[in-house]
Amino acid sequence: MRSLPPRLPVLASLLCALLALVAGPGTAREARAEETSTIVQITLHPNAAVLEERVQAPVQSTAQGPAVTFSLPRGAELQGLKVASLTPGLAVTGVTWQEAPGADTPRVTELRRRLAQAVAARDAAKAEAGALAAQADFWRELRTQAASGTTPEGAARLAAAVGTNLGPLLERLYAAQAGLEEKEKAVKAARDALDDATGKERSVWQVRVGLSGDAQKAELALAYAVSGCGWSPAYRLNALPGANAVEISFEAVVRQSTGRTWNAPLRLATVPPLVRLDPPALRPWIIAPWQEPTPRPMAAQRAFKAANADTAAEMAAPAPAPREDYGAFAAYDLGRRVVEPGEPVRLPVRAEKAKAEFVHLLRPSEGPESYLKAALTLEGTARLPEGPALFQVDGAMVGEGNFAVQGSTADVFFGTDPLVRCTATLENKGSGESGIFKKSQTYVWKWHLVAENKRDAPVRAVLEEPLPVARDARIELTTTAAPEPTRREKGTVVWELTLPAKGTSAVDWQVSLSAPPEMRLDLGGR
């Protein structure tokens, strides 16, 4: 029987060692493959998210005792991480974490591929533009030589060659430069998409959870906040005056940059989550006799303001956000939703046809226009956070603005109505003195107000004018009106009118003033 050559046993040993090295990482990969993570609930706040997760992982034996490891997004706020064991016989003894390289999801891998393609196309366009620029410079140099140091015949030949070649080259160069600008924009768009998907981070948190007990596999419940996520409201309000209703469409624009695809029940909350652990200190409440400030030179005043700027900003800071409970914020359960990282998605939240009473608001002293106003009554108590809205009347766009509701009622304006107007004519404005010995000075204003409705149906209107207010007891004011105002409130006189179809309604309004002759008066611009 032939014996093995002397070197073969050594080679066999090296081969076994190599196989062992290969098997080692394979075993580790298999262990990591056994780790599974499932998001069971997402509570999305305007500028953050709270994720509830279930992690199943094999228990590893370490020098510090049994432990499991898993990764979380780099944007996770681990100071507030909550971990609980769902495996009988296992208890959590501690949590540590460190930064580690992250593995790309298929979505992020695709975004990196698109970025690489965009960069390659940009570089190719840059090389083409550079080559054309070099050729153009060559022909420009020949043109300079043609202008000096050559015979007339040679100069003519060079000029002809330059004219034949430089013109087409410049056309190609300018086209290449324009194409390069488009390629630069494509690179920026691809990079922005990748940054939106990953939060500009390529690393993750490697979390180690220490355990006590005996088990081969652990199931953990996690809850943590993560930044780089949020939502904003968007509304569409369609006024239907003929139906005494307003259609309200409420959507949420959702965004997230965790680098993972969300496929879990999604709940929207209207306030940010509380991540502060320590309560703020109470500011002292001091009551003391008022002291007039000591006058300071201007330089000293500026120094004082600069020294106290930080303190003033701190005193003016808003109160901490309320705790996360259903008494502190409104929550909207959207059910299971899929949200890809880096791609804002609009999700329908609520659609309602609210009852509405429509009136045309007229303020002729400020202008002849009428403003369509809807007094909304919603079902139950609504908490609709402020957000951009599109306003429509019978499906026609009338403008954009902000909208919010806190309660069951709200007043909403839908812009001007050109078919309803009100004009004010000042029929009389006089001043004079009364009494034998000029005991008082007098002023009189008389307006004739005409509200016109060019619509084919009657409309309700509210006409408002400022009610003068005297700031001195010696000033006497009297008003007369026909018809009598419906009410007087908060410096405003109000008439509630019904304008007939294709008709008008008129109001006469007079204000009289009497004051001592020596008193200088500010008539409020009237």
> Contacts from 280-283 at CB under 8 Å and sequence distance 24+?
280/320, 283/315
Chain centroid to Cα 188, Å, comes to 22
Compute the C-alpha angle 454/458/463, nearest 5°: 80
pLDDT of residue 201: 59
Q: What is the pLDDT of residues 114-148, one digit of tens each?
A: 878 888 888 888 888 888 888 878 777 766 665 56
DSSP 142-176: HHHHHHSSS-HHHHHHHHHHHHHHHHHHHHHHHHH
User: What is the distance of C-alpha 59 from the center of its chain?
Assistant: 43
Cite the DSSP H helix spans in 277-348. Answer: 298-307, 309-315
Question: Which is higher by pLDDT, 329 or 30?
Answer: 329
- Rounded Cα distance, 86 and 92, in Å: 10
* Tokens (6 digits) for 158: 């060079």
Closest-CA residue to 249 (of 335, 353, 339) = 353
pLDDT at position 122 is 84
Rounded to 5 degrees, what are φ and ψ at 505? -135, 140
Q: Which of 109, 114, 110 is nearest to 190 (CA)?
A: 114
- Contact (CB, 8 A) for 364 and 423: yes
DSSP element (H, E) containing 129: helix 106-147
**Domain extents in the chain:** 106-198
Q: How confident is the model at residue 173 (pLDDT cuts 50, 70, 90)?
A: confident
Find residue 478's DSSP bridge partners: 512
pLDDT of residue 197: 60
CA distance 180 to 124: 9
Range of lowest pLDDT (6-10, 98-102, 187-191, 339-343): 6-10
| pLDDT (mean) for 23-27 | 36
- Could you check whether the bond before residue 483 is cis, i.e. omega within 30 degrees of 0? yes
Per-residue three-class SS string for 167-214: HHHHHHHHHHHHHHHHHHHHHHHHHHHHHHHHCCCCEEEEEEEEEECC
- Overall average pLDDT of the 387-393 stretch: 95
Position 15 scores a pLDDT of 36
Could you tell me which residue, 282 or 190, shows the higher pLDDT?
190
- Alpha-carbon distance of 55 to 36, in angstroms, equals 6
Determine what percent of the chain is predicted with pLDDT higher than 70.
Answer: 73
**Could you tell me whether strands 369-393 and 230-240 are parallel, antiparallel, or unpaired per DSSP bridges?**
parallel
Q: Which of 137, 219, 141 is nearest to 170 (CA)?
A: 137
Average pLDDT, the chain: 79
Q: What band does 3 get if pLDDT is binned at 50, 70 and 90? A: very low
Dist. CA 236–CA 247, nearest whole Å? 8
Confidence of residue 314 (pLDDT cuts 50, 70, 90): very low
Q: How many CA atoms lie within 13 A of 402 on its CB side?
A: 6
For residue 111, what is the DSSP state? H
Backbone angles phi, psi at 490, to 5 degrees: 50, 50
Lowest mean pLDDT among 208-222, 306-320, 388-402: 306-320
0.85 cut: is pTM over it?
no
pLDDT at 281 over 80: no
pLDDT in tens, 45-96: 999 999 999 999 999 988 888 999 998 988 899 988 999 999 999 999 999 9
Mean of pLDDT values over 447-466: 94
For residues 108-117, give the mean pLDDT: 76
| Beta carbons within 8 Å of 285's beta carbon, 6+ residues apart | none
Which of 412, 393, 416 shows the shortest CA–CA distance to 401? Answer: 412
42 or 277: which leads in pLDDT:
42
Measured CA angle at 187 (ends 185, 190), to 5 deg: 110
Q: What is the pLDDT of residue 279?
A: 65
Q: Stretch 460-467: mean pLDDT, rounded?
A: 93
pLDDT band at 16 (very low <50, low <70, confident <90, very high): very low
199 pLDDT tier (thresholds 50, 70, 90) = low
Which run of H or of E encompasses 1?
A: none
Q: Mean pLDDT lowest for which of 13-22, 212-221, 442-451?
A: 13-22
pLDDT of residue 138: 79
State the average pLDDT over residues 374-378: 93
Q: In 3-state terms, what secondary structure has residue 484?
A: coil
Phi-psi bin for 502: left (phi > 0), alpha (psi -120 to 50), beta? left
CB 245 within 8 A of CB 20: no
Instruction: Return the DSSP state at 45.
Output: E
Q: What is the pLDDT of residues 406-456, one digit of tens each?
A: 888 999 999 999 999 999 998 877 766 654 445 778 889 999 999 999 999
Neighbours of 414 (CB within 10 A): 22
To the nearest 10°, the Cα dihedral for 214, 219, 220, 226?
A: 140
